């Protein structure tokens, strides 16, 4: 389950998520298509996602992004002209808040973009994932893209 996010396109991604709930768990040509088969994420081997369901699992209604915050582009990263993606693993709790977040693919530890990505994601809120009509904790991944324009 992958979601792309750019510091310059928050409104666009929020609109996509709210209008296409099946965007979670999809990649490639079928991304964004409600008819494309979803593939469940593999839960990490450590205890990060203990008690959580994997996004894209059968019979699971994936979470829907309700409120997001843009990560800040640090001055040092701008001076270094640093651009790219940060992959963040996220546990979304039954109340729709981000219970845990960690960087799984780093862009930058030196200039603070990884830290800014985590700070932003931790403030997001979601309509919770549902299983059999009940909210459940879910593991997912999000991608935040930093681009200079």
> Does residue 91 register a pLDDT over 60?
yes
**Does residue 14 belong to any structural domain of this protein?**
yes
**Does residue 43 belong to any structural domain of this protein?**
no
Note the pLDDT of residue 93. Answer: 98
Residue ranges in 20-134 assigned as alpha helix (H): 75-79, 113-122
Tokens 């893209």 correspond to what residue?
Answer: 145
> Does residue 13 register a pLDDT over 90?
no
pLDDT in tens, 31-40: 332 334 468 8
Cα–Cα distance list, 140 to 23, 52, 72, 98 (Å)? 12, 10, 22, 11
**Does residue 45 belong to any structural domain of this protein?**
no
Instruction: For residue 26, count other CB atoms closer than 10 A to its CB.
Output: 22
Q: pTM of this prediction?
A: 0.75
Note the pLDDT of residue 29. Answer: 30
Q: Kindly give the pairing relationship between strand 125-127 and strand 129-131.
A: unpaired
Q: Which domain holds residue 104?
A: 4-26+52-146
- CATH code of residue 137: 3.30.2420.10
Residue 138 — pLDDT band, cuts 50, 70, 90? very high
**Does residue 34 belong to any structural domain of this protein?**
no
> What is the number of domains present in the chain?
1
> What's the CA gap between 146 and 139, in Å, rounded?
23
**Does residue 32 belong to any structural domain of this protein?**
no
């Amino acid at each position: 389950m992958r979601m792309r996010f750019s510091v310059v396109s928050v409104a666009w991604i929020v609109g996509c998520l709210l209008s296409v709930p099946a965007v979670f768990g999809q990649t490639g040509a079928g991304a964004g298509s409600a008819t494309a088969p979803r593939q469940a994420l593999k839960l990490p081997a450590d205890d990060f996602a203990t008690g959580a369901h994997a996004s894209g699992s059968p019979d699971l209604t994936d979470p829907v992004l309700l409120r997001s915050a843009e990560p800040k582009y640090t001055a040092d990263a701008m001076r270094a002209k640093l651009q790219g993606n940060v992959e963040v693993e996220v546990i979304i709790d039954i109340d729709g808040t981000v219970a845990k977040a960690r960087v799984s693919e780093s862009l930058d530890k030196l200039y603070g973009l990884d830290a800014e990505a985590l700070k932003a994601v931790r403030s997001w809120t979601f309509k919770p994932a549902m299983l059999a009509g009940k909210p459940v904790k879910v593991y997912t991944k999000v991608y935040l893209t930093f681009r200079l324009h």
